[in-house]
Amino acid sequence: MTGSTGRAAHGARQQCSAVRPIELDAMRRAIELAERGLGGTSPNPIVGCVILDDEGGPVGEGFHQRAGQPHAEVEALRNAGEQARGGTAVVTLEPCRHVGRTGPCVNALIEAGVSRVVYAVDDPNAVAGGGAEVLRAAGIDVVGGVLVREAAGSNEAWLHRARTGRPFVVWKFATTLDGRSSAADGTSRWITGDDARRDVHLLRSRVDAIAAGTGTICADDPSLTVRLDDVSISRDLRGQPLRVVVGHREISSSAKVFEGSAPTLLIHEHDPAVVLDELADRDVVSVLLEGGPTLAGAFIAAGLIDKVVAYVAPAFLGAGQPVLGSIGINTITDALRWEVDSVDMVGSDIRVVARPRAEVRPVPVGE
């Protein structure tokens, strides 16, 4: 991470000796709590909080469930009650100091009488950030940058949106070992097994929007919805992700994307930057790209995919549609090389998570 999370990481190196093991455990729990809000809090970040009493025991916890509802610190303080006085608040994001649809979290912490605040990631928002200094001015001991990488990873979509102004784009696809997304006759269900398909629905449940091209809609007639019996609390409250159909082709009124279980947005445009601007205007923080080789190729070529989640089935087709359309590369030396985050078995299939390589900048002599 760059920017504020980099500063927090630097602070963590300076202050780790001041952090107690119970606070590290509490931060891990706070990160787990924060992730319950994925897909439900936009345009706000996901945040989790654990309150420890003055002896270090956990007495309250909470997470931000939905924009406009209480923030994680307020929920945790409410659960802790008077036991928070003299205790420690452990929170995944620097407590906010601004008045929005809810009051400032710094005020709630001060009024609750906590003596210490331990947080992971600096808030990069110019309006909401700076809460740590407000707390210090009130006489509260504050430590930042604790487990910053873990917390920032969970909140990567919101941090990206705050930093760049555009939604975080995840491209998900399923492929055979020889790189085919469908057979020569056009059939594509099912390349992967039940476990991988369930994993895709979990992935869908954690984003604000699911996008596909008109070609995919016409060929496959997908629903683009989350279909799970045990969806998260936040998803139950918020409903289904926004379905986004991109392109100029006419779509039949009987297409599944027009049935009433989820909202659908038609964007008659092929320019990925324009599509993302439209979604940003609608407070979309994260979008899952599921729309075939043409749409994926346009986003890849524009440098607007932030993460890939690939499901690889141990199968061969030998012919059929490739996963990715042309992106203007004609020689191996120009290949786009990505960094692999993880490789896991999901049932009988392989899940690979990767992202673009960080730009390497030369360091001037003397720095």
Amino acid code (one letter) for 250:
E
* pLDDT band, very low/low/confident/very high, at 230 (cuts 50, 70, 90): low
Q: With bands split at pLDDT 50, 70 and 90, how would you rate the model's confidence at 6?
A: very low
268 CB-near residues (< 8 Å, 6+ apart): 247, 248
What is the mean pLDDT of the segment spanning 250-267? 91
SS3 label, residue 261: coil
Which residue in 23, 35, 61, 73 is the catalytic one? 73
Nearest to 243 by CA among 222, 227, 229: 222
265: pLDDT strictly greater than 70: yes
pLDDT value, residue 327: 86
> Is residue 116 scored above 80 in pLDDT?
yes
Residue 11's pLDDT is 40
Q: Pairing between strand 116-121 and 141-143?
A: parallel
Q: How many alpha carbons fall within 13 Å on the CB side of residue 176?
A: 19
Cβ-based neighbour number of residue 363 at 10 Å: 7
Residue with tokens 């990925």: 272
**Among all chains, which residue has been given the structure tokens 């509490």?**
26
Mean pLDDT, residues 302-320: 94
Q: Indicate whether 293 pLDDT > 90.
A: no
pLDDT for the residue 10: 39
Q: What is the mean pLDDT of residues 1-10?
A: 40
**Domain spans in the chain, listed from the N-terminal domain onward:** 4-160, 167-356
**Is residue 181 predicted with pLDDT exceeding 90?**
no
Q: For position 360, what pLDDT does the model report? A: 35
Which CATH homologous superfamily contains domain 167-356? Dihydrofolate Reductase, subunit A (3.40.430.10)
Respond yes or no: is residue 150 known to be catalytic.
Answer: no
For residue 102, the one-letter residue type is T
* 310 bridge partner residues: 173, 352
Q: How far apart are CA 263 and CA 312, in angstroms?
A: 30
For 66, list phi and psi in degrees, rounded to 5. -165, 145
Homologous superfamily (CATH) of 4-160 is: Cytidine Deaminase, domain 2 (3.40.140.10)
| Kind plus residue range of the DSSP H or E element containing 205 | helix 194-205
* Mean pLDDT within 263-268: 94
pLDDT, greater one: 148 or 233: 148
The pLDDT score that the predictor gives to residue 239 is 74
Residue 31: the pLDDT is 97
Terminal Cα distance for the chain, rounded: 20
β-strands 264-267, 242-246: how paired?
A: parallel
**Whole-number pLDDT of residue 188:** 76
Determine the Cα–Cα distance for residues 276 and 283; give it in Å rounded to an integer: 11
CA distance 169 to 352: 16
Least confident of 14-28, 191-205, 226-240, 344-358: 226-240
What is the tens place of the pLDDT at every residue in 41-92? 999 999 999 999 999 999 999 999 988 889 999 999 999 999 999 999 999 9
Question: What pTM, to 2 d.p., does this model score?
Answer: 0.84
pLDDT at 280: 96
Name beta bridge partners: 213: 246
Beta-carbon count within 10 A of 17 CB: 6
Structure-model confidence comparison of residues 8 and 300, the more confident one = 300
Question: Is pLDDT of 244 > 80?
Answer: yes
Q: Which residue has the tokens 């699911």?
A: 210
**Structure tokens that stand for 88 in this block:** 């420690």
Q: What's residue 34's pLDDT? A: 96
Q: Where are the alpha helices (DSSP H) in 138-269?
A: 148-154, 156-164, 194-205, 214-220, 233-238
**pLDDT > 60? residue 168:** yes
Q: Report strand pairing: 349-356 vs 338-346.
A: antiparallel
Percent of the chain's residues with pLDDT above 70: 89
- What is residue 325's DSSP assignment? -
- Report CA-CA distances (Å) from 344 to 107, 259, 340: 43, 35, 11
Banded model confidence at residue 170, pLDDT cuts 50, 70, 90: very high
> How much is the pLDDT for 18?
83
| Separation CA 287–CA 283 (nearest Å) | 11
